Structure 1
Amino acid sequence: MEAIISIVIQLVAGAVGGNGLGAAAKNLSLGTTGNTIAGAIGGVGGTWLAGLVPGLAGLLGGAGTGMDAGALVSQGVTGLVGGGILTAVAAAVKKATAK
């Protein structure tokens, strides 16, 4: 059950990050659906990558896993950032290949 809650937090935070980036930078928007999908994938991937960096999860306020508040906030933050980054990268690749 803990794993499911963690993944849902990462997916939602990533989707918020992707849509936030799309709203803030119109030239990097993939549309609402594209931003949501890329952001959700980036949210999970960003949290996974952050867990590979020694000490990063502790710096963000949690161990990166489990159900304590610090870990959940850490997963939310890394999901938000990861979602925004992957959305930006996907939009940049889409623009570059469209020319």
Structure 2
Amino acid sequence: MEALLPIIIQIITGVLGGQAVGAVLQQVAMSQLTKIISGAVGGVAGGTALGSLLGGAAGADPATSGALGGLLGNAVGGAGGGAILTGIVGAIMKAMNK
């Protein structure tokens, strides 16, 4: 369970970040499934990248990785990664619709 908790947090916060960007980019015809998938994938990528930069990898023990490298780092990285990837997917879909 300790190895899955950071990934679950990254997915959830990534979806939330993707939904936030999707709400801002309403002019882009993105389906709900597209926002969820891009947010989840971006959340895992962003959370893993930020977690490794701060010293706590995705499966690291939160007790030994510090506060930012632990669950908070996974949450911030997940939200940011989900928002960024959803924004990129939205921009590509908008360009394809022209």
TM more than 0.5: yes
Q: Is the 8 A contact 2:51 2:74 kept in 1?
A: no
1:36 aligns with 2:31: no
Alignment of 1:8-87 (within 5 A): 8-28=8-28, 30-53=30-53, 57=54, 63-64=56-57, 65-68=60-63, 70=67, 71-87=70-86
Inter-partner Cα distance in structure 2 for 1:17 and 1:84: 4
Unaligned runs of 5+ in 1: none
**Matched letter for residue 39 of structure 2:** G
TM-score, scaled to structure 1: 0.79
Judged with a 3 Å threshold, the aligned counterparts in structure 2 of structure 1 residues 18 and 84 are, in CA distance, closer, same or farther, namely same
Q: Is the 8 A contact 1:28 1:88 kept in 2?
A: no
TM-score, scaled to structure 2: 0.79
| Deviating 4+ runs (over 6 angstroms) | none
Count of residues paired in the alignment:
92
**Matched letter for residue 66 of structure 1:** D
Inter-partner Cα distance in structure 2 for 1:41 and 1:90: 12
Unaligned runs of 5+ in 2: none
Identity among equivalent pairs (%)? 35
| CA RMSD of superposed structures (Å) | 2.1
